[in-house]
Structure 1
């Protein structure tokens, strides 16, 4: 039990650390960062509940004011910005990613991890992010979706990376792949 809680804390730290990787902002005001890769890995490695818990830890810490988001952002103001849907969408994204990993169990983990990341870390995350962006920027859903299009190629690369990293963990330390426990 303690091991699983520690893993959630470590993956919360991973998401925070990925915020240190240099990011850049698009015209929509939403930064391109590596943190969504951390969210995907929370699901593929930890599973649905523990992956969502790791993300909830980050969301709470950021909301309390810790500058853990890309560009050193943090505090309640994040909840009023154009990234709010993506930020809060990390929770269901990690959960859905983990749920797919827990339910789909072929012998290899790379493909299920990449597809789980696509479903949770792109489809679910973008659904939440587009709604939030539309509300904050006072745009229609199609307009907000158009603003999100430039992010898709990078996120598809992150899905592949999540699959490869998850496979690496499964090979090196299979007992650490809690989504398959």
Structure 2
């Protein structure tokens, strides 16, 4: 039993838990400026998707997803950590619910694509990873749920969501630049490098 417990602890290094907590907090902090509704869209524009992309790009697949999961659990528990001070289970019944749920796979896919870039993921890969995971995947979850909750057609909802694209593309580019700069300064911030070191130490 002691050996099994020891192995479980080694699977989740303290440094990883700290990184997950830091990025969950970062996503929450990015909600402080509030949100903006444009063109009558029921789903607001926030900076928090920038944090989701950054979590995936720097933490990698499962750690990035875990950071988002921690935030969503805290939100569900009632903490007002979403833009505009929103929190509680009720937010998962709003038109933006699908986008919130999409944050988790969005961060995971972003991290997975960055990891495929190996020890030196280039800027183009980072941008592409953010666009696919942090934009495409989140929209894939968000738009159908928004349409279902609001009663609008899928086509109409897609048109409304097009208003998010310029800002989300900008977030993807900025995320890639920040991640690239961070990874150059701290090579261990490259998900593939960090994963190799953790595995060498006997972790996941």
Q: TM class by shorter-chain length? A: over 0.9
2:167 matches 1:158: no
1:97 aligned residue (101, 106, 110) = 110
2:29 aligned residue (13, 17, 20) = 17
In structure 1, the partner of 2:19 is 7
Please state how far the C-alpha of 1:111 moved relative to its aligned partner.
1.9
List, as ranges, runs of 4+ consecutive aligned residues in structure 1 with deviation greater than 6 Å.
none
| Deviation readout 1:37-87 (Å, 9 max, x if unpaired) | 000011100001000000000110111111111111111110110100000
TM-align CA RMSD: 1.3
Distance in 2, Cα, partners of 1:25 & 1:57: 26
Three-state SS of the structure 2 residue aligned to 1:25 is coil
In structure 1, the partner of 2:83 is 70
Q: Normalising by structure 2, report the TM-score.
A: 0.85
Three-state SS of the structure 2 residue aligned to 1:31 is coil
Higher Cα Rg: structure 1 or 2? Answer: 2
Whether the 8 Å CA contact 2:111–2:191 is kept in 1: the answer is no
Q: Normalising by structure 1, report the TM-score.
A: 0.95
Unaligned runs of 5+ in 2: 1-12, 195-204
Question: In the TM superposition, what are the counterparts of 1:26-175 in structure 2 within 5 Å?
Answer: 26=38, 27-105=40-118, 107-175=120-188
The alignment of Structure 1 onto Structure 2 pairs a total of residues equal to 181
Three-state SS of the structure 1 residue aligned to 2:113 is helix
Distance in 2, Cα, partners of 1:30 & 1:67: 17
